[in-house]
Structure 1
Amino acid sequence: MTPAATVDDHAMLIDRLLAPVIGSLGSETVALPAALGRVTSTDIHSDVDLPLFRNSQMDGFAVRASDVATAPIALEVTGDIPAGHASPVTLIPGTALRIMTGAPMPEGADAVVPVEDTELVLGRDDGLEGAIVTIARGREAGEFVRERGSDLRRGDLLIAAGTRLAPRHLAALAAAGVGSVDARRRLRVGVITTGAELVAVDEELALGRIFDANRIALTAGIIDAGAVVSVATSSDDDPRTFRHILDDVVGASDLVITSGGVSKGAFEVVREVLEPLGASVGSVAMQPGGPQGTAVLDGVPIVCFPGNPVSTQVSFAVFLAPVLRRVAGLPPETRESRVLAAAVESVAGKRQFLRGIADDDGTVAVVAGPSSHLVAAMALANALIDIPHDTTRLEAGEKVTVWML
């Protein structure tokens, strides 16, 4: 009997399996509104200065600093400069211009006095003609003036290659007039769940049928890990049906995940179809998730998970989520050391991933039992407790490695 592979060995196998596809993903042009979360494939340099022009930092009055050096002082107000004003304006010495935040500074002005430091007396017909502003406090040259290029100079690096774009990055790109970016193409992942017993969640149940939780779990996991779902479907246990579906999904995907059909019993459709095509289907020394498989069809890697819902979710978390997150530029999921709240027992020779609740006090407690069908208990967990393969018991207070979910 072939010995079961270790978890680490199988993880490395999947890394090698996906490496050619990941290396050939390339990039695509993405419109800025759709670029959130995408990873830039090239450096982006600015074609403009930021700010684009010299402008006011405050609502107030544009002045010459030398004219207000002896404040308090009264100056004639000769006009308005609202934000968006497009015509050049020149400040007459010994006067002031009312100016709004972001409006272009007039020629000859070198400071802005905030409106809070002024008192305006309107002129004729309550307008600015003949208006006088009293400046209560003088300002130095440059105060409350945003100089052109003080944030970024034309040609400067705006966003580096390999940056996962957050809202703050999109704001900077938009401010510089960048309407699209070159981003890494996202991995297209297809999902095939198998089993004659499966029913979509919106279909009617009959005796012996179950709702297809794995299709939902895997598609959600793929999206959460930064990839895109190319196809999500299911197959019964007929080999011809599965092969037809598999061909279609392979044609639309960079990677295919299957669930179910890889154990040693009858009606194991994934094993039956893929083993003659060169697939490796066997066991990994872990619980849950022992039956595992890998294959390549038409250059597309296929990762085969067992069908029990907890086994499927744990397998995805252990073997695929780390790879997909890395490709998408997402940070790795947290692994940390915690203290057991109660003693646990494990199976000799198998690395066990117990579902647990990690508490704010630094402890972790097991949720329900180890059985791979306890999908509702899985929903209560926020962590996987990683028990080494050579450990059969750990006492309360001992430290364990925890994978945060």
Structure 2
Amino acid sequence: MCSVFRVSGEAPEAVFSGGAGAAERTRRLRPVPPPPPPRAPAVDLAEAEEFLRLFHAENRVDTPIQQRLARMRYEVDTTGTYRHTPDELAYGAKVAWRNSARCIGRLYWRSLKVRDLRDVHTVSGVAAHCVEHLRMATNGGKIRPVISVFPPETPQRPAPRIWNEQLIRYAGYRNADGSVLGDPRYTRFTEAVTGFGWRPPAARSGFDALPLVVETREEGAHMFALPPDAVHEVPITHPDLPWFAELGLRWHGVPVISNMRLRIGGISYPAAPFNGWYMGTEIGARNFGDTDRYNLVPVVAERLGLDTSREDTLWRDRALVELNRAVLHSYHQAGVTITDHHTESHRFLTHLAKEESAGRKCPVDWSWIVPPMSGSQTPVFHRYYDTEAPGPNYYGDEDATHRALTGGPPAFA
């Protein structure tokens, strides 16, 4: 089959309902049918056995472990893979969060809601469930940790792919003078999807939600506009500075990471978007503060009247604090769950103590756990950690990241 890029300006509900679902335009990404996909390697038996033994050790299971292992080995011998039970999938996704060395919010790993969507194979089905994920996780502002697990990679059939780095990301429009309106991180992705037929709003802003791009081997890559009610946003104001509202800033309420692979017992799930809730510095210090993102620290410093002629005035630090105060204040005012880096650092040490008391190591990537501002003022800064991260786990995917930042090439080119 030819890989195609189908474009729709309709909201996903209309696209999925049938009648209005025809694509507005089709663009072929290559002129000839693709070669047969490479077969995924057979599941590693040792990794599968290790996971199943862990599952049986930490859960009440009616089936004897030897019986389950025998069934798994039979499936791998005959098909190259095996299928997790719903309970194994849910447990594996939660333990993957428990083992995620870059996440400071793991105290809540048991609360993760796992959506078993392994039988959803169409691009429209994946996109519809991603929209439902956003609504479910947003929960009126009371953010719920959710993961949506789509079909795994198997020797018989490659898994669906989600191109976006997160389900909600903002467009970056490159101006003639080289400046960018919106998020500079996504200028190439924005240019790619615009070339494929996405139509930005008539009045462009710095916070236009990009379309969702989903790809399968059979259907190719399709774009879907996110419906407005699935993108819950918070306008950014400041508790003491009325002029802050004039900056016109806003940010989405729930961060759903969609370009990492979930790996459980040797089985890889490339499409498994998941979320917790924001820590304020992720927005204020990184998305708003980084020089290669919105770069708002100089803007805020100027409005504060700070002396920016010398670094030793610490104007950057002072402006960054006010930017982060504004984020926390705004989310609290809007009733949207958020946490600050001091509170979350103490909670992480509580999680660490619980893991140690359970006889488990807690893997930590120090450079990610220590917050991007006032690091030495948080308790997570002042200690060493285990760095080896066991499975199950979430893993970076270089190909997925490349597609998320550039809009191509297709996964099955």
TM-score normalized by structure 1?
0.24
TM-score normalized by structure 2?
0.24
Which gives a bigger RCO, structure 1 or 2 (Cα 8 Å, sep 6+)? 2
Question: Which is richer in strand?
Answer: 1
Greater Rg over alpha carbons, structure: 1
Question: Which is richer in helix?
Answer: 2
